[in-house]
């Protein structure tokens, strides 16, 4: 999505990103991971932009970047003009469906030179709540072997579906000797198949990283594991939905009307900035904490009526920040349906108004607020349609 | 003349039966001469420069420029939400249940009982891909202005520009984006190139390039554009593309492909493997224009040879699928099984891509990858016919149908280059009227 997406989020510094990583695991996790020889990265889907929160020394060496240049960036920063579009789609879909993937892909170093690698990624789940905490991605450089198909050079590009779809007879792997070729050549390869030993290496690396994470999460009392051990709770959004919502750069919240007291289940970074609260302080709470002494109760009543009727509404309401200061909030609320066709959430989009607009009798939402609603609608509708 | 009875999907609130009288005096705030004066719409002019491979904006003078308005979300989705809340759609598409059908490809099925209007069926000529524009029939100049979201053009500048309130000026031959009042998904819109020029439904180089620009500008792989030729289930003979947003891959996009050829301008052409509808995939090219022109040349060839087809623009304009089909012809000749006909699913671009809108609950409950496959397979050309059509296309775009090894002896594209940019290569020259087109059957 393109709402002012920048490679480093506007709202978190490098320390903050690493901080959320550290919060999950006990002390010395970074040192333990640093000791592993492999190239790997760890990303956090719950931070806007799905950024890298840890990069191993092996990764930094392979790509030529420094730690500061990598933390906070999204993985696609290492792709380039000749990176195969299907491989990119495969990775994107694996993230959306919260499943592992192993694909060869062309990436680019800091110097701009391309290299082929086997990209092996797995989701890491919270043991207690079943949601995806991180994605771990291992990178194994591939030596130059080109896949050939019997006679003729036509090359198969595998689609994003599971391998069974591709007829076995099409692929006749003949091992060519490792080819010495210049980098210009590398970009023109359609595909570069990893050898069995390279695939084993990646699986091994993934296993090592996972066991370090498991051990250190256990020490911290918040175990993670490689398999989802329980169904995700109703108050917990899928990581793909969170990634989609994280691209929307305005203040908004999602509340769940099916849970008692209609709690907030998602709050954007901009909302937290506007109100001064931290995320853990608002998740699970009803929005009424934003109201205070001077908030007009008839407006609250109007909102409640609209929610009960399942209708959108726009109000001007006096809200209070965490520091008790007030602001006029032009608030637009609307029910949002998921793939079942039923209302799954309400979205509330806040806009700070400099003063109360006394003139207009009939309040209309700002175009920017409608954009947020639209973007939320498509995200919510699609998020429940992930295949298993 | 082959005919079948069809009930076309209503895409505008002002679309009436073609048989009814259109000459009633206006008051509808449409785009005709009667109401155009004083009409204003936002205008988005996308930038001229190519995007780099990653889809990020090309960096100019060391600073990446953000578009003035986040294109997809603000204009398309925001304006759509506005019309949604104003009740301009025939139904709430988000209230229609939808699911991914279990299987290898993940076809998407939707239960939508309201999409197909129950009314007198109209006759629709299905055996001619090229038919002249008929001002008496419904067309997009008759659409109410409230159904229009914004004007869109390929700008002249290096920067994208947005004007919130620009007069709709016939002199500029504006292209517009309108809502589809019978949406297949939230955000379903129509791109109507040079709406006031009343172009018939046929691909030309300029229009396809505009469609590619829109896909590139949205910069989101889940926002695709589609096109149906006449005979391939286009409902209105006024040039338009459709577009909407679905945050998952289409089965068509997941199908494996086998490379066939690379043109001299670097466009790679592949054929899909193991997909029910035999299709070509175009990608690459040294510029977006090269990719667009190659596909346009192929389409013009199909049009001239009276072969119906659909187009899907995917991956933010980097991939274009071309699907020739023959379902309507089979249907008219009575060759489609009654079972398939009863579902009343017409394999247009979205269906072929793998998104099926089903009208009956039993079809939705019983939706399976097998059923979807069977329906789509009916639309596909046979292996033999597909090879013939490919040969025609390759000749038209100036390549012989050879394996990559022989690329060195590719023939340079030849043929007259029209000053106005409407190139025709191979085949008979068309000058806009159907009567001059050869019908090869």
DSSP states of A283-315 = TTS-GGGG--TTS-HHHHHHHHHHHHHT--EEE
β-partners of residue A326 are A320
- The C-alpha atoms of residue B111 and residue B98 are separated, in whole angstroms, by 6
Helices B288-304 and B383-396: angle between axes, nearest 10 degrees: 120
- The C-alpha atoms of residue B404 and residue B402 are separated, in whole angstroms, by 6
Which chain B residues are Cβ-neighbours of A167 within 8 angstroms? Answer: 273-274
- The C-alpha atoms of residue A251 and residue A332 are separated, in whole angstroms, by 11
Q: In Å, how far is A178's CA from the nearest CA of chain B?
A: 22
β-partners of residue B4 are B124
Check: CB of residue B211 under 8 Å from CB of residue B191: yes
Whether residues B73 and A375 touch (CB distance < 8 A) is answered with: yes
Whether residues A312 and B85 touch (CB distance < 8 A) is answered with: yes
Whether residues B98 and A341 touch (CB distance < 8 A) is answered with: yes
B81 touches chain A (CB under 8 A): yes
B58 touches chain A (CB under 8 A): no
Whether residues A371 and B70 touch (CB distance < 8 A) is answered with: yes
Nearest alpha carbon to residue A156 among B54, B255, B391:
B255
Q: In Å, how far is A271's CA from the nearest CA of chain B?
A: 19
Q: What are phi and psi of A291, to 5 degrees?
A: -85, 160
pLDDT at res. B44: 86
Of the candidates B116, B213, B238, B240, the residue annotated as catalytic is B240
pLDDT at res. A229: 74
DSSP A233: P
Nearest residue of chain B to residue A377 (CA atoms): B186
Pairing relation of β-strands B40-46 and B148-154? parallel
Whether residues A92 and B220 touch (CB distance < 8 A) is answered with: no
Give exposure, A123-149, as e/b (b: 16+ Cβ within 10 Å): bbbbbebebbbbbbbbbbebeebbbbe
Which residues lie below 8 Å from residue A65, measured CB to CB, with a gap of 6+? A55, A109, A110
- A window 20-79, beta carbon within 8 A of B: 76, 79
Phi-psi region of B315 (alpha: psi -120 to 50; beta: other; left: phi over 0): left
Instruction: Identify whether B240 is a catalytic site residue.
Output: yes
A4 touches chain B (CB under 8 A): yes
Whether residues A244 and B247 touch (CB distance < 8 A) is answered with: yes
pTM of the model as a whole: 0.84
Check: CB of residue B82 under 8 Å from CB of residue A366: no
Which chain A residues are Cβ-neighbours of B185 within 8 angstroms? Answer: 378, 381
Please list the helix, strand and coil fractions of chain A in percent, rounded to the nearest 5, in that order. 35, 20, 45
Tell me which of A290 and B28 has the higher pLDDT. A290
Q: In Å, how far is A73's CA from the nearest CA of chain B?
A: 14
pLDDT band at residue A9, thresholds of 50, 70 and 90? very low
Whether residues B253 and A160 touch (CB distance < 8 A) is answered with: yes
A370 touches chain B (CB under 8 A): yes
- The C-alpha atoms of residue B245 and residue A374 are separated, in whole angstroms, by 11
DSSP A350: E
Q: In Å, how far is B218's CA from the nearest CA of chain A?
A: 7
B88 touches chain A (CB under 8 A): no
Whether residues A382 and B248 touch (CB distance < 8 A) is answered with: yes
DSSP B63: B
pLDDT at res. B7: 65
Q: In Å, how far is A387's CA from the nearest CA of chain B?
A: 7
pLDDT at res. A117: 94
- CA torsion sign for A83, A89, A92, A97 is negative
Greatest alpha-carbon span in chain B: 64
A85 touches chain B (CB under 8 A): yes
Check: CB of residue A332 under 8 Å from CB of residue A310: no
Highest mean pLDDT among A235-249, A323-337, B125-139: A323-337
B368 touches chain A (CB under 8 A): no
- B window 273-312, beta carbon within 8 A of A: 273-274, 283
- A window 148-187, beta carbon within 8 A of B: 152-162, 164-167, 170
B404 touches chain A (CB under 8 A): yes
Indicate the average pLDDT of chain A. 83
Whether residues A93 and B256 touch (CB distance < 8 A) is answered with: no
Q: In Å, how far is A1's CA from the nearest CA of chain B?
A: 5
pLDDT at res. A170: 35
Q: Which of A1, A166, A340 sits opposite B72 (nearest CB)?
A: A1
Between A and B, how many CB-CB pairs are < 8 A? 173
Cα–Cα distances in Å, from A102 out to A59, A62, A192, B204, B419?
Answer: 17, 19, 13, 41, 50
B5 touches chain A (CB under 8 A): no
Instruction: Find the helix or strand (DSSP H, E) in which A133 lies.
Output: strand A132-141
Whether residues A156 and B249 touch (CB distance < 8 A) is answered with: no
B362 touches chain A (CB under 8 A): no
**What is the radius of gyration, based on Cα positions, of chain B?**
21
Query: For a pLDDT cut of 90, what percent of chain A falls above it?
Result: 59
Q: In Å, how far is A50's CA from the nearest CA of chain B?
A: 16
Pick from B72, B97, B256, B408 the residue to mutate for testing the A interface (most A CBs within 10 Å): B256
Per residue of chain B (441 residues), give pLDDT as tens: 666 666 667 788 877 544 444 444 467 788 877 777 777 888 888 876 554 333 333 333 323 345 555 676 678 999 999 999 999 999 999 999 999 999 999 999 999 987 776 444 544 577 899 999 988 888 999 999 999 999 999 877 767 788 888 888 888 889 999 999 999 999 999 999 999 999 999 999 999 999 999 999 888 899 999 999 999 999 899 999 999 999 889 999 999 999 999 999 999 999 999 999 999 999 999 999 999 999 999 999 999 999 999 999 999 999 999 999 999 889 888 999 998 888 889 999 999 999 999 999 999 999 999 999 999 999 999 999 999 999 999 999 987 544 443 333 322 233 333 333 333 333 333 333 333 222 222
Whether residues A370 and B220 touch (CB distance < 8 A) is answered with: no
B257 touches chain A (CB under 8 A): yes
Nearest residue of chain A to residue B244 (CA atoms): A378
Q: What are A363's two structure tokens?
A: 């309040």
Angle at A185 between CA A182 and CA A189, to 5 degrees: 140
- The C-alpha atoms of residue A67 and residue A64 are separated, in whole angstroms, by 10
Nearest residue of chain A to residue B100 (CA atoms): A385
The ipTM (two decimal places) reads: 0.83
pLDDT at res. B8: 66
Check: CB of residue A385 under 8 Å from CB of residue B98: yes
Q: What is the pLDDT of residues B289-346, one digit of tens each?
A: 999 999 999 999 999 999 999 999 999 999 999 999 999 889 888 999 998 888 889 9
Q: What are A259's two structure tokens?
A: 């849970």
**C-alpha B156 chain-centroid distance:** 24
Whether residues A339 and B108 touch (CB distance < 8 A) is answered with: no
Report, as an integer, the average pLDDT of A268-289: 95
Phi-psi region of A33 (alpha: psi -120 to 50; beta: other; left: phi over 0): alpha
Q: In Å, how far is B125's CA from the nearest CA of chain A?
A: 36
Q: What are phi and psi of A301, to 5 degrees?
A: -65, -45
Q: Which of B102, B220, B246 sits opposite A382 (nearest CB)?
A: B246
Whether residues A154 and B260 touch (CB distance < 8 A) is answered with: yes
- The C-alpha atoms of residue B52 and residue B57 are separated, in whole angstroms, by 7
pLDDT at res. B2: 63
């Amino acid at each position: 999505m393109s709402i002012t997406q920048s490679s480093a989020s506007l709202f978190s510094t490098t320390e903050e990103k690493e901080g959320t990583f550290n919060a999950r695991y006990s002390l010395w996790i970074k040192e333990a991971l640093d000791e592993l020889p492999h190239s790997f990265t760890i990303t956090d889907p719950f931070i806007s932009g799905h950024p890298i929160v840890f990069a191993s020394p092996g990764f930094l060496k392979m790509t030529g970047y420094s730690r500061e240049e990598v933390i906070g960036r999204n993985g696609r920063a290492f792709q380039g003009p000749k990176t195969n579009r299907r491989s990119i789609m495969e990775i994107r879909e694996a993230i959306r469906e919260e499943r592992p993937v192993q694909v060869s892909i062309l990436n680019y170093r800091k110097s701009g030179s391309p290299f082929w690698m086997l990209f092996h990624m797995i989701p890491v789940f919270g043991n207690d709540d079943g949601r995806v905490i991180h994605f771990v991605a291992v990178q194994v450089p591939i030596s130059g072997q080109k896949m050939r198909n019997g006679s003729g050079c036509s090359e198969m590009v595998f689609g994003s579906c599971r391998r069974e779809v591709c007829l076995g007879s099409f692929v006749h792997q003949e091992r060519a000797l490792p080819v010495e070729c210049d980098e210009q050549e590398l970009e023109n390869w359609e595909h570069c198949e990893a050898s069995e030993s390279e695939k084993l290496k990646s699986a091994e690396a993934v296993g090592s990283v996972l066991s370090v994470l498991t051990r250190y999460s256990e020490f911290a009392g918040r175990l993670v594991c490689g398999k989802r051990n329980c169904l995700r709770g109703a108050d917990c959004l899928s990581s793909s939905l969170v990634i989609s919502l994280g691209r929307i750069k305005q203040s908004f919240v999602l509340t769940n009307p099916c849970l008692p007291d209609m709690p907030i289940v998602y709050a954007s970074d901009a909302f937290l900035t506007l109100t001064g609260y931290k995320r853990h302080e608002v998740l699970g709470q009803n929005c009424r904490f934003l109201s205070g002494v001077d908030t007009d109760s008839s407006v609250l009543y109007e909102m409640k009526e609209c929610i009960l009727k399942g209708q959108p509404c726009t109000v001007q309401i006096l809200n209070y920040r965490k520091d008790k200061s007030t602001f006029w909030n032009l608030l637009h609320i609307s029910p949002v349906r998921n793939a079942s066709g039923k209302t799954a959430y309400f979205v509330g989009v806040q806009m700070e108004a400099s003063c109360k607009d006394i003139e207009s009798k009939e309040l209309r939402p700002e175009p920017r607020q409608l954009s947020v609603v639209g973007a939320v609608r498509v995200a919510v509708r699609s998020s429940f349609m992930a295949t298993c | 003349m082959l005919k079948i009875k069809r009930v076309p999907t209503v895409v505008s609130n002002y679309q009436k039966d073609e048989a009814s009288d259109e000459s009633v005096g206006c008051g509808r705030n449409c785009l005709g001469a009667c109401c155009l004066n004083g009409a204003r719409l936002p205008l988005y002019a996308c930038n001229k420069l190519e995007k780099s491979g990653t889809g990020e904006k090309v960096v100019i003078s060391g600073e990446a420029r953000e578009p003035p308005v986040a294109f997809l979300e603000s204009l398309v989705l925001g304006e759509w939400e506005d019309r949604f809340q104003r009740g301009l759609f025939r139904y709430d598409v988000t209230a229609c249940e939808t699911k991914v059908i279990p299987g290898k490809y993940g076809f998407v099925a939707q239960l939508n009982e309201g999409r197909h209007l129950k009314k007198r069926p109209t006759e629709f000529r299905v055996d001619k891909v090229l038919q002249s524009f008929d001002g008496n029939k419904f067309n997009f100049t008759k659409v109410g202005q409230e159904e229009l979201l914004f004007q869109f053009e390929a700008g002249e500048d290096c920067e994208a520009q947005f004007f919130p309130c620009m007069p709709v000026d016939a002199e500029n031959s504006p292209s517009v984006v309108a809502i589809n009042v019978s949406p297949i998904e939230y955000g379903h819109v129509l791109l109507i190139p040079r709406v006031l020029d009343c172009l018939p439904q046929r691909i030309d180089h300029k229009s396809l390039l505009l469609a590619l620009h829109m896909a590139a500008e949205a910069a989101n792989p889940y926002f695709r554009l589609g096109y149906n030729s006449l005979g391939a289930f286009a409902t209105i003979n006024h040039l338009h593309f459709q577009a909407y947003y679905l945050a998952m891959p289409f089965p068509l996009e997941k199908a494996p492909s086998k490379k066939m050829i690379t043109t001299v301008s670097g466009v790679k052409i592949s054929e899909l493997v193991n997909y029910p509808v035999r299709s070509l995939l175009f990608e690459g090219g040294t510029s977006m224009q090269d990719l667009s022109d190659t596909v346009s040349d192929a389409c013009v060839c199909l049009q001239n040879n009276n072969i119906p087809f659909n187009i899907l623009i995917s991956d933010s304009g980097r991939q274009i699928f071309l699907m020739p089909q023959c379902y309507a012809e089979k249907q008219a000749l009575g060759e489609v099984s009654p079972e398939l006909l009863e579902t009343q699913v017409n394999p247009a671009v979205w269906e072929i891509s793998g998104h099926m809108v089903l009208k009956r609950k039993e079809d939705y409950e019983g939706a399976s990858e097998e059923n979807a496959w069977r329906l789509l397979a009916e639309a596909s050309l046979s292996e033999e016919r597909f090879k013939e059509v490919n040969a025609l296309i390759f000749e038209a775009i100036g390549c012989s149908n050879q394996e990559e090894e022989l690329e060195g002896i590719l023939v340079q594209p030849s043929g007259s280059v029209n000053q106005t940019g409407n190139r025709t290569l191979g085949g008979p020259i068309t000058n806009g009227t159907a009567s001059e087109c050869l019908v090869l059957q």
